[in-house]
Chains A and B, each alone.
Chain A
Amino acid sequence: MNSSISEIDAKVVCYHCGNDCKEEDILEDDKHFCCSGCYTVYDILKDNNLCGYYDLNANAGVSLKAKNFKGKFDYLSEKAIENELLSYQDEQIAKVILSVPSIHCSSCVWLLENFPKILKGVFTSRLNFVKKELSLDFDPNVVSLKEIVELMATLGYEPQINLESTGKLKKIDHETRKLLFKIGVTGFCAGNIMMMSFPEYFNLDLANKLDATYQKFFLYFNFLLALPVFFYGASDYLKGAYYSILENLKGNSNILSVDIPIALGITALFLRSTYETFVPQTAGYWDSMAGLVLFLLVGKWVQTVTFNYLSFDRSYKSYFPLAVKVKNQSANYKNVNELQKGDVFFVHHQELIPTDAILMEGNALIDYSFVTGESNPVKKLKGETVFAGGRQVADQIELLVQKPVSTSYLTQLWNNESFLKEKEIPTTALANAFSKYFTYLTIAIAAAVGIYWKFNNPELIWPAVTAVLMVACPCALTLSLPFTMNTTMSIFGRNKFFVKNQGVIQQLSEIDTMVFDKTGTLTEANHGEVRLVGELSYYEKNLVYGVVSQSVHPLSKLVSSYLQGSNSLEVNYIFEVKGQGIEAIVDGRSVKIGKLDFVKNINAESQNSEVHVMIDNEYKGYFTVEPRFRANWKTLLQKLSKTFTIALLSGDNPRMSETLKPIFGSRMRFNQSPQDKLDYIKQLQNSGSHVMMIGDGLNDAGALRESKIGIALTEDVQAFSPSCDAILDAERIDKLDDYVRFSKTALNIVKLSFLLSVVYNIMGVGWAASGELSPVVAAIFMPLSTLSVVFFSVGLTWLVARYKKMV
């Protein structure tokens, strides 16, 4: 059935990953595969009778194009390194927890949990989808960690192993669990109190002796059930209020936390009900109190809900390899953290240099774009220093460690003060701002009511005053904020904009300055635009195409796609010098492409993004690759510049300043080091701006951290992104202004719902002031007002989002 669909489709898609089979098409069992990697996975699954993988979701696999894992995990065969990753180990069993970011659907769960079927020696395999972690138990005598990891990588589920991974079990979120316990206890008590309160509401006949016995039983039972609600469930609010009052008395702060009016209300409810229970022995307001605390706790839980499968707090450690191959030591591989001055280690093609070192041997061509934003790789000679964070793009090199990892030039940035203190994101600032007036107003009304009844009917003083405090409890107010923000977060999430927590949305609405990084942010990270300088005939193009189509170098691939449509000629001989160029004989002609000094065989400086062409010893010109700007970048910036001050911070050289000048004007800085970027943001913020930084690489890490809101832009949300407050899918960068505007709308909705809850409060206080608030009325009115405010704010947020076509 599947094949008949793909026949109708104009495009042939890979049976495994769903990608276009444009460049390669492997046909097997009537199924198309886009690369040998995808075919291998299919083959393994078929052999193990696990093709149910494809029945669950069509084309469920992860594309394996251009993936080469050979030798990548060799360091896992070193016992010391393996032990560091294992969480438990004895003679018969070893346990490991691996982080697998590419998990995305139910097929993944199925395949990975069926891992014991594919690989002998694996006992159990359990996946935590939310955290994207796979827990494996295996027999270390039958299978090694290296074999497991290699097979996972082959199947497209490459585990993420870096300097941060250790065998230690991830710590459990005790705060959330505590909250769940409280919700459980409070919910249990609230439900039972409500049930026990019914007889009282339906008018027991107290003259009847039997009814009177029950009434007392229910009264005391309610009191017992209310104790855990007050002392356990509401303890955070009582404590919070106590500390806030203490801070105010000491003069340390003049903010009255929103806990104060809440604690005031709960305490009033508790004391009044206790009095009612034991003195006149009538029903108290126990059900109102329990319901109130339950609602508040649920609101608090909603506030903690985040995208916990995304990681917002990454340091350089997540980027660095766990181990490197070392020379002349007892072990072949060494944990990067244990590297000491004087150690000699190897860095292979496409690997990251973990620490500052001196080049001993080999051909070093270091791409620092990750650290500096500079897009051209730098050539280093023997004896020169290479810095941490660079990526070796040529062959294997041998390096002599100069400094331990933690003190290298790159990691110094993380010793900056902005990384040492926790970035403060206020989640309750808005409610606290409101609470100041609220608290004073409530106390004033309660006092006025008390004074009024003192002169008119002294018996009603306490009933009226306590009733005012009870009704005025800002429950609806504290709930509308977390529920609205939670809705906004999930709407943003659907639009591939992931904020770290609710406070970020609040801060987003206050932004007035936006600072952009260039490489990887305004321009695309992996794609460039190819331009031919010089002239090539059709035949010559075919010659070049024949050469580049044989190479996997990124530049060759770009040139190859630029020359798409040429006919590949027969290649008689080909030799690639990594990081330099290719020598070949095509159709009997000698073709040399690559760097200028390579093709001309002279010492010449050339840009590394240029591919020079020499045919039969005649220089023909060169291809140059220029970074390509993202779609709609100009429209976006023009729109943003109307409302915001926008600026550009680039680590790259100013060769593109001409294009950018009309938009940024003088607010452009080039050749900025990570520290420069951080300082620039600091300077802006000190002058009173609220800065949002949008960047992508490690070079922006400092700026992202220092700015009020740091947004990491990424092609793949699951992949690495530096420490930030929000992650934005690169495809959606043109929607940036919509997000900022929506955060303002969300905040206005919260304010509107505050207004609604104030209206309810005025109504309730009117009742209370007259001393007429009966337990039944309170039990109906209080939850109803709270729920209606929550429905109002959540519903309105969805409606606005729908109107703006965000859902």
Chain B
Amino acid sequence: MEVIIILVVLAILIAGSFLFAFFWATKDGQFDDTFSPSVRILLDNDRDENKTH
């Protein structure tokens, strides 16, 4: 029944990957502007037509 120990370690690793994702997001500035993304997601209707970058 040591399988629970393996499962716990696995669970921590998976949770740890989310922690890493959080670090990444913070470093990337995801939490610097919390308003415009909420608007942006609603507005993006036809921008793809002339995507230039």
Give the total of B residues in contact with A, Cβ under 8 Å.
Answer: 30
A130 to B47, CA, bound (A): 23
Contact B4 A106 (CB under 8 A): no
User: Which of chain B's residues have a CB closer than 8 A to the CB of A56?
Assistant: 43
Given A110-B43, A214-B4, does the pair A185, B19 have CB atoms closer than 8 Å?
yes
Give residues of chain B (3-50) contacting chain A, Cβ–Cβ below 8 Å. Answer: 4-5, 8, 12, 15-16, 18-19, 22-23, 26-27, 29, 31-36, 39-40, 42-43, 45, 47, 50
Given A172-B29, A188-B19, does the pair A110, B39 have CB atoms closer than 8 Å?
yes
Given A109-B43, A124-B53, A130-B36, does the pair A177, B4 have CB atoms closer than 8 Å?
no
User: Which of chain B's residues have a CB closer than 8 A to the CB of A113?
Assistant: 40, 43, 47
Contact A129 B35 (CB under 8 A): yes
How many residue pairs bridge A and B at CB < 8 Å?
Answer: 68
Contact B43 A106 (CB under 8 A): yes
Given A130-B34, A184-B19, does the pair A109, B1 have CB atoms closer than 8 Å?
no
Contact A106 B27 (CB under 8 A): no
Contact B39 A106 (CB under 8 A): yes
Q: Is A221 an interface residue (CB 8 A)?
A: yes
A332 to B8, CA, bound (A): 70
Q: Is A272 an interface residue (CB 8 A)?
A: no
A198 to B: closest C-beta gap in Å: 12
User: Which of chain A's residues have a CB closer than 8 A to the CB of B31?
Assistant: 180
A789 to B38, CA, bound (A): 32
* Complex interface bits, A45-73 against B, C-beta within 8 A gives 1, otherwise 0: 00000001000100000000000000000
Contact B15 A192 (CB under 8 A): yes
Given A117-B50, A210-B1, does the pair A130, B35 have CB atoms closer than 8 Å?
yes
* Complex interface bits, A202-236 against B, C-beta within 8 A gives 1, otherwise 0: 00000000100110010001000000000000000
User: Which of chain B's residues have a CB closer than 8 A to the CB of A117?
Assistant: 50
Q: Is A349 an interface residue (CB 8 A)?
A: no
Q: Is A181 an interface residue (CB 8 A)?
A: yes
A123 to B18, CA, bound (A): 33
A136 to B: closest C-beta gap in Å: 12
Contact B39 A131 (CB under 8 A): no
Given A110-B39, A113-B40, A177-B26, does the pair A130, B33 have CB atoms closer than 8 Å?
yes
Q: Which residue of B lies closest to A139 (CB)?
A: B52
Given A129-B33, A129-B36, does the pair A124, B43 have CB atoms closer than 8 Å?
no
Contact B19 A124 (CB under 8 A): no
Task: Tell me the B residues contacting A by CB distance below 8 Å.
Answer: 1-2, 4-5, 8, 12, 15-16, 18-19, 22-23, 26-27, 29, 31-36, 39-40, 42-43, 45, 47, 50, 52-53
Apart from the given pairs A106-B42, A109-B39, 9 other A-B contacts in the complex at a CB distance below 8 Å: A106-B39, A110-B39, A110-B43, A113-B47, A129-B36, A172-B29, A185-B19, A191-B15, A192-B12
